[in-house]
């Protein structure tokens, strides 16, 4: 039971970070860790915002540059550049992803009554990535919809590659099954 209570309290907590002078927040419950930028192994045939993969305690984890993801101006990584490792959920499958941001800011409590609906961001920011706006005193924080942020199934070419692969496999299997039935 205490677990649940704790979860309730933490549900309203957000880790905020800075990206191009704007403050963003992600639910603290989805954060698995924060670490400095390290060199990644580049992945060919992948979206440009995927910087590559790293070894995170034996797990192979993709790293996403959020500036590139949001089509913001790309700046060289510096001393404050950090990777926030988050757990996202896609099709009932938990995946781990690292997000490269300019710097980590703070942890805030934002209650439901302080959440605002998302206004149109126009070209600068795609709305599907935003869950809402959080009010902290006089400040606004953009709360991200992290599950949408890196929906690999929607990666250009990504789902195409997946579906073609699956079809071919199915066909082969069916053919063999067909003869087996003979």
How far, in Å, CA of 182 to CA of 179, rounded?
A: 5
Give whichever of 39 and 117 is closer to other proteins, judged by the CB atom: 39
Q: Is residue 140 close enough to count as binding other proteins by CB under 8 A?
A: no
Distances (CA, A) of 73 to 30, 67, 124, 139: 26, 7, 11, 23
3-state helix, strand, coil in the chain (%, to 5): 30, 40, 30
Give whichever of 13 and 46 is closer to other proteins, judged by the CB atom: 46
Give whichever of 107 and 176 is closer to other proteins, judged by the CB atom: 176
The 39-68 contact track toward other proteins, x by CB under 8 A, reads xxxxxxxx---x--xxx--xxxxx------
Q: Is residue 91 close enough to count as binding other proteins by CB under 8 A?
A: no
Q: Which of 66, 97, 130, 146 binds other proteins (CB under 8 A)?
A: 97
Q: Is residue 182 close enough to count as binding other proteins by CB under 8 A?
A: yes
How far, in Å, CA of 25 to CA of 18, rounded?
A: 9
Contacts of residue 68, Cβ cutoff 8 Å, sequence gap at least 6 = 48, 49, 74
Q: How far is the CB of 47 from other proteins (least distance, A)?
A: 10
Give whichever of 44 and 78 is closer to other proteins, judged by the CB atom: 44
How far, in Å, CA of 40 to CA of 108, rounded?
A: 30
Q: Is residue 13 close enough to count as binding other proteins by CB under 8 A?
A: no
């Amino acid at each position: 039971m205490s677990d649940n209570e704790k979860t309730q309290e933490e549900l309203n907590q957000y880790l905020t970070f800075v990206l191009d002078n704007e403050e963003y927040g992600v639910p603290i419950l989805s954060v698995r860790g924060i670490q400095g930028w390290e060199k990644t192994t580049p992945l060919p045939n992948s979206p440009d915002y995927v910087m590559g993969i790293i070894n995170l305690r034996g797990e192979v984890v993709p790293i996403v540059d959020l500036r590139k993801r949001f089509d913001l101006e790309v700046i060289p990584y510096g001393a404050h550049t950090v990777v926030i490792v988050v757990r996202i959920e896609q099709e009932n499958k938990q995946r781990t992803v690292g997000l490269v941001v300019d710097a980590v800011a703070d942890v805030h409590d934002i209650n439901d009554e302080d959440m605002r609906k998302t206004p149109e961001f126009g070209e600068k920011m795609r709305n599907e990535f935003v869950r809402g706006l959080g009010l902290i005193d006089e400040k606004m924080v953009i709360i991200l919809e992290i599950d949408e942020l890196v929906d690999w199934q929607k990666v250009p070419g990504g789902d195409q590659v997946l579906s073609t692969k699956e079809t071919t496999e199915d066909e082969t299997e069916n053919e063999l099954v067909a003869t087996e039935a003979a």
